[in-house]
Amino acid sequence: MIDERFDAIVVGAGPSGNAAAYTLAKEGLKVLQIERGEYSGSKNVQGAILYADALEKIIPEFREEAPLERHIIEQRIWTMDDKSHTGMHYRSDDFNEEKPNRYTILRAQFDKWFSSKVKEAGAIVLCETTVTELVRDTQDRVIGVRTDRSGSAIMANVVILAEGVNGLVGQRSGLRPELEADSVALAVKEMHFLPREVIEARFNLTGNEGVVIEAMGTITKGMTGTAFLYTNEESISVGIGCIVSDFAKADITPYALLETFKNHPSIKPLLVGSECKEYAAHLIPEGGYKAIPQLVGAGWIVVGDAGQFVNAVHREGSNLAMTTGRIAAETVVWLHRRREAMSHENLKEYERRLEQTFVMKDLKKYKGIPDLLHNNKQNFFGLYPKLISQAMQTWFRVDGVDKISKENEIFRSFRSARTLFGIIGDAFRLVRAWR
């Protein structure tokens, strides 16, 4: 039983919870962090690309100690049909900089390291403990939590909910609605091990350079979703995810979808000879801006995936998690120093601060995109990738047919698919949603 009263309790030890607990403890607040997993990282799943900027703002010297795999020098974006991919690749030696911008990581190792920094900063980290409910006073203010360890309450001035996408504590306490099957993706991921020199030869890499492939197209069998392949030091992370409501109607399981992706002629040679040692599945909040729940109330704040902070268009989540965790903690520190109450009104400062960051600016900018893609999935994840592939094939195949005839054939294939108006409409909606 813990009798002390804390300045803050942080529920969850993923990137958002660790960012919050570290920032609070470093500023001298008395912090208890509670994690249901055996250790920080044991329950967490990510691709995983780490965006340096968000972590640098919390631990500037992280590159000297954090377990990082490869820094990314090349980004490939593919649209795929069943036999081909059409790619946009960007590779630059500029990314071989002193302080690289993005890295691949293994979450189990990375989160463990981040958690060690939280402990070093002075927070108490309680693992293998699940927060079961929030404790409220007679005025309905949150004043602590209950866990599965003992029925008695642990008290704090504020509770930061960093419990991830499911957010059951918040949900059970009526702070947020249930997740909607339309705004959450189910992703499955495997780790394929290969000797590092094989990975380097296969992806044209030297030393710790790395490559990222993000892919969409018929690989998701008409469902709204994407796939990825990331190079680690001695392994390759490969995964695919689709919106849950699509999976519910589909006649393919997530695992079978991943098998099909791995056997695609553009992917298979990249994995050949590898040994698959890990398999994981996890939800990703993909509803964007409109899915963000209430973020603060009397005595509580929501951060990270629990607040649906994922930019699905740009495949960013952990950086939004760390940024919202840091800003929530900075708000609490600010109020604590001014000896102000952790009231609903005062904690709205967190929302005001978030508005100034890339987190809210980006989510607002792209707020129409998730629905647009999902409502037109038969085009974006079916018809268009096929048409692009057909056009490329017609164009690149040298077969004695003149180029004017080829241009006409490409044009006809778009028209004959009765898509011209559809394409113009989708392009118009896409541009409007983007702006």
Q: Does 49 bind ligand FAD (CB under 6 A)?
A: yes
Q: Does 321 bind ligand FAD (CB under 6 A)?
A: yes
Asked if 2 contacts 147 with a C-beta cutoff of 8 angstroms, the reply is: no
**Cβ-based neighbours of 326, under 8 Å, separated by 6 or more:** 19, 20, 23, 54, 57, 58
For ligand FAD (CB under 6 A), the number of binding residues is 41
Nearest approach, Cβ of residue 403 and ligand FAD (Å): 41
Q: Which range binds ligand FAD by CB under 6 A, 66-74, 216-224, 299-307, 340-348? A: 299-307
Q: Does 71 bind ligand FAD (CB under 6 A)?
A: no
Judged by beta carbon, residue 164 or residue 288, the one nearer ligand FAD is 164
Q: Does 317 bind ligand FAD (CB under 6 A)?
A: yes
> 131: closest CA among 35, 23, 275, 203?
35
DSSP 174: T
Nearest approach, Cβ of residue 167 and ligand FAD (Å): 8
**Cβ-based neighbours of 221, under 8 Å, separated by 6 or more:** 250, 252, 257, 260
Q: What residue type is assigned to position 58 of the chain?
A: I
| Strand duo 154-161 + 5-11: pairing | parallel
Residues of this chain, 6-45, that bind ligand FAD according to CB under 6 A: 11-17, 34-37, 43-45
Asked if 185 contacts 288 with a C-beta cutoff of 8 angstroms, the reply is: no
| Strand duo 209-217 + 71-80: pairing | parallel
Judged by beta carbon, residue 110 or residue 381, the one nearer ligand FAD is 110
Judged by beta carbon, residue 285 or residue 386, the one nearer ligand FAD is 285
Q: Which range binds ligand FAD by CB under 6 A, 213-221, 270-278, 314-322, 350-358? A: 314-322
Asked if 340 contacts 298 with a C-beta cutoff of 8 angstroms, the reply is: no
Residues of this chain, 125-164, that bind ligand FAD according to CB under 6 A: 130-131, 162-164
Q: Which range binds ligand FAD by CB under 6 A, 81-89, 192-200, 315-323, 424-432? A: 315-323
212 - beta bridge partners?
75, 230
Task: Name the site residues for ligand FAD (rule: CB under 6 A).
Answer: 11-17, 34-37, 43-49, 130-131, 162-164, 168-169, 187, 189, 239, 241, 282, 284, 304-306, 310, 315-319, 321
